[in-house]
């Protein structure tokens, strides 16, 4: 039962806006130019992290994301499973392979554990006919969305200005989509518990749903993120990611697009491409490299121990990534998450995927997709809120050295 204070807040929420109470709204700050999304309905979502003594078995009881509880979520919009209905443990297979294995044998293992052996179901008819509990990864609309879902009658074309209640108070409904990527039917709390081939299916789901929202008229921006742990913003312990597609473009994203476009116009080069080349030349902040990806601690990282993963060759949109790239992303992301858990046991962390927004204009060669992964080692306090300038207590060169030490101690056969 809600407390008197909670009931009072909810009653106030219903009366605070000219827009219907069940509709998320965006309000524009005329001084900063920043928009804030107000979504009072989010208060109704369950929070397993409110208690400080929950164990995994406690959080698994009644979990809506576990196999067998599919009726507790909206119907899926995407399902991924193994084509042969089985799971392939790529890491166990890799570790059992002798160190003397030839490149051909290693390549055969990669093919065996690739997305080619997975089945991604997107068609609504196939989804409705699929067996409810036959899945490894499923994507569902968020039951407590931060924004209104497309199709509810509130969706509009992207706005150039905010409708005004008065000269200084700009408010309008915000719409799009808010989805949950449930990463496993088992009650796992982190992605490091998943086999790499399974994790590749998670990123395939993200890629496919990004592609869906890229093609929805009116969508301006897509945010894909993971909150792992209560301090990172998670409310349910079961491993999952989220995607919010919206018809508003955040101010700082507009600034990024403007800066990268100006750099491209001035130099003829992509800013991120030049940064990656410079990081590889200096080497101090490089964490790991693969044939297609580089992981490094950014020179001006706002968060301690933060890592950025980006493709070595220019690519502007994550939703256009090949299966081979998706598999490489899964392997490298899992390694970085494993290092975070080893260096900072029990620490919550986030990842966010930065992809070229649907409403971006200009040259696609100016934007380069990337992913930021960062443990939550520090709190955002008064200075950060007041100045919008972060204080980082760990130099990125030191962070990278620690990650490289973790990498050197790994069995390379488990990283394929």
Q: How many residues does the chain have?
A: 416
| 3-class state of residue 8 by DSSP | helix
Sheet of 35-38, strands arranged across:
35-38, 25-28, 170-173
Cα separation, 41 vs 240, whole angstroms: 20
Q: Residue 283 falls within a domain, yes or no?
A: yes
**Distance of alpha carbon 3 from the chain centroid:** 33
Non-local (6+) Cβ contacts of 86 within 8 A are: none
Q: Residue 348 falls within a domain, yes or no?
A: yes
CATH number (domain holding residue 407): 3.30.428.10
Q: Residue 406 falls within a domain, yes or no?
A: yes
pLDDT more than 90, % of the chain: 56
Q: Would the pLDDT of 339 be above 70?
A: yes
Cα separation, 161 vs 329, whole angstroms: 38
DSSP E strands in 70-174: the ranges are 78-82, 118-121, 137-141, 148-149, 170-173
Q: Residue 323 falls within a domain, yes or no?
A: yes
Q: Residue 5 falls within a domain, yes or no?
A: no
Q: In this predicted structure, what is the pLDDT of residue 380?
A: 85
Active site residue 240: yes
Angle at which helices 323-343 and 396-408 cross, to 10°: 100
N-to-C CA span, the chain: 50
Q: Determine which one of 187, 212, 240, 368 is catalytic.
A: 240
Contact criterion met (CB below 8 Å) for 332 and 286: no
Q: Residue 313 falls within a domain, yes or no?
A: yes
- pLDDT band at 17; cut points 50, 70, 90: low
Identify the domain containing residue 273 by its residue range: 252-415
Q: In this predicted structure, what is the pLDDT of residue 299?
A: 95
DSSP assignment string, 21-80: TTS-EEEE-TTT--EEEE-GGGGGS--GGGSSS--HHHHHTT-TTSTT-GGGSPPPSEEE
How many separate domains does the chain show?
1
CA separation, residue 119 to residues 86, 243, 337 (Å): 11, 21, 26
More confident residue, 232 or 351: 351
Q: In this predicted structure, what is the pLDDT of residue 307?
A: 97
- pLDDT band at 59; cut points 50, 70, 90: low
Cα separation, 323 vs 314, whole angstroms: 17
Q: Residue 28 falls within a domain, yes or no?
A: no
Q: Residue 180 falls within a domain, yes or no?
A: no
Q: In this predicted structure, what is the pLDDT of residue 323?
A: 95
């Amino acid at each position: 039962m809600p407390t008197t204070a909670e009931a009072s807040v909810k009653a106030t929420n219903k009366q605070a806006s000219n827009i219907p109470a069940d509709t998320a709204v965006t309000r524009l700050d005329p001084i900063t130019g920043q928009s804030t999304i107000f979504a009072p309905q989010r208060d109704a979502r369950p929070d397993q992290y409110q208690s400080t003594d929950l164990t995994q078995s406690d959080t698994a009881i009644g979990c809506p994301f576990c196999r067998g509880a599919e009726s507790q979520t909206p119907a899926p919009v995407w399902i991924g499973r193994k084509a042969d209905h089985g799971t392939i443990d790529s890491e166990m297979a890799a570790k059992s392979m002798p160190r003397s294995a030839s490149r051909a044998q290693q390549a055969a293992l990669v093919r065996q554990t690739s997305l080619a052996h997975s089945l991604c179901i997107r068609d609504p008819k196939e989804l409705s006919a699929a067996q409810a509990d036959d899945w490894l990864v499923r994507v569902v609309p968020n039951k407590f969305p931060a924004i209104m879902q497309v199709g509810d009658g509130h969706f509009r074309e992207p706005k150039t200005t905010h409708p005004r209640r008065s000269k200084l108070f700009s408010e309008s409904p915000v719409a799009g989509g808010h989805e949950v990527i449930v990463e496993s039917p088992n009650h796992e709390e982190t992605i490091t518990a998943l086999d790499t081939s399974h994790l590749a299916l998670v990123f395939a789901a993200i890629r496919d749903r990004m592609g869906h929202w890229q093609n929805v008229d009116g969508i301006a921006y897509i945010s894909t993120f993971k909150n792992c742990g209560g301090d990172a913003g998670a409310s349910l312990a079961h491993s999952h990611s989220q995607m919010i597609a919206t018809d508003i473009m955040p101010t700082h994203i507009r600034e990024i697009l403007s800066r990268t476009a100006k750099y491209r116009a001035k130099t003829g080069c992509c800013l991120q491409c030049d940064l990656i080349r410079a990081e590889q030349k200096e080497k101090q902040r490089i964490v790991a490299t693969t044939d297609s990806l580089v992981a490094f601690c950014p020179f001006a990282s706002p968060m301690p121990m933060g890592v950025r993963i980006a493709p070595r060759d220019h690519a502007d949109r994550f939703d256009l990534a090949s299966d081979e790239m998706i598999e490489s992303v899964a392997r490298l992301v899992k390694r970085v998450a494993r290092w975070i858990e080893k260096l900072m046991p029990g620490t919550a962390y986030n990842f966010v995927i930065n992809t070229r927004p649907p409403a971006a204009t200009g040259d696609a060669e100016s934007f380069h997709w990337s992913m930021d992964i960062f443990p939550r080692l520090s709190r955002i306090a008064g200075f950060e809120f007041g100045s919008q300038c972060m204080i980082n207590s760990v130099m990125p060169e030191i962070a990278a050295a620690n990650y490289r030490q973790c990498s050197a101690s790994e069995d390379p056969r488990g990283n394929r």
